[in-house]
Chain A
Amino acid sequence: MAWLSRPLTLVGLVILAHGCYSAYEHTLLASTSVQHPASPSAAALPLDIYIETIVATFLICLGLVLGTGAPEPIQWHTWAGKIEREADKRSSLAGNADKEALGNPYNALEARSGFINIHKLHGDFVKYTQQLSK
């Protein structure tokens, strides 16, 4: 939908400029010409200028709304889930390059070297060497 933003805004601006010009010409004409007793008062604009201006305003407004950036969720868990999902999508698209860099904001905590179970790793290594020697 974002591509619609600029054309809508442009079209709206053109219509608004035309409405502005029409209103200006109308008031100028009404103020200089001799007032006919049966004609409506000079202050009242014709209905089509009203409609034109309001439609143009609505079009530009719609265009500007469509052109704004997407909002971000403010709850931490929603936001973190969203960026992690996006990182998954991006890494599946572009190889498995730097998935760790984006994604989970707690990655630094989860990969802390202080929590490595060195005894378990040693046991695994011993099993592995025994398997190799068999």
Chain B
Amino acid sequence: MSEQELQINPIVQDSVIHNTKTLTNLHSLTASLFGVSAGILGLESYYGFLYYIALSITTSLLFYVFKLAPGSLAEGRSVLDTGRYYKGALELWTSPIFNGLPGFILTWTLFYGLVRA
């Protein structure tokens, strides 16, 4: 976004921080949960990561449907447009995946070891 655009349509930093924090909290919680479930299922190598990525995107989708869609659609935005709450679409869809990855691997290996040992 250019400087001029930011001057015309200012952005509330507090809201940006609040939204990012909400999403990060949700994804670190769910990532450990997905690790538990991947460990119980005994997934190995790529399947575990694919499972994590699929479920993480599902979580983002659920978050969109239940939390973002009511306000976003009421404002007249198109479906899956997150401009009301996030600066970019990637902030909702991909960056949480990398935030939760360490937690996922931690609980994945732990539960794999517990169940399969």
Residues of B within 8 Å of A72, CB to CB, are: 12, 14-15, 18-19, 85
| Residue count of chain A within 8 Å CB distance of chain B | 34
A75, B22: Cβ atoms closer than 8 Å: no
**Choice from A45, A53, A71, A76 contacting B19 with Cβ under 8 Å:** A71
Neighbouring B residues of A125 by C-beta, 8 Å = none
5 contacts between A and B (CB under 8 A): A54-B41, A64-B26, A64-B29, A68-B26, A74-B86
CB distance from B44 to the nearest CB of A (A): 10
- The answer to the question of B30 belonging to the interface, with a C-beta cut-off of 8 Å to chain A, is yes
CA distance A20 to B12 in the complex (A): 44
Since A56-B37, A71-B15, A71-B85 are in contact, a sample of 5 more A-B pairs with Cβ atoms closer than 8 Å, ordered by chain A residue number, is: A61-B30, A61-B55, A71-B19, A72-B19, A74-B84
Asked if A70 is at the interface (CB within 8 A of a chain B CB), the reply is yes
Give the size category of B's interface with A.
35 or more
B115 within 8 A of A: yes
Interfacial residues, chain A to chain B (CB-CB below 8 A): 1, 16, 19-20, 23-24, 27, 43, 45, 49-50, 53-54, 56-58, 60-62, 64-66, 68-79
Contact of A65 among B26, B37, B84, B86 (CB under 8 A): B26
Give A50 to B41 CA distance when docked, in angstroms: 6
When the two chains form the complex, which single residue of B25, B33, B67 contacts A57, counting CB atoms closer than 8 Å? B33
- With A68-B67, A73-B85, A74-B85 as given contacts, are A27 and B59 in contact (CB-CB < 8 Å)? no
Contact partner, B59, options A49, A65, A70, Cβ 8 Å: A65
Q: Which of B41, B59, B68 contacts A71 (CB 8 A)?
A: B68
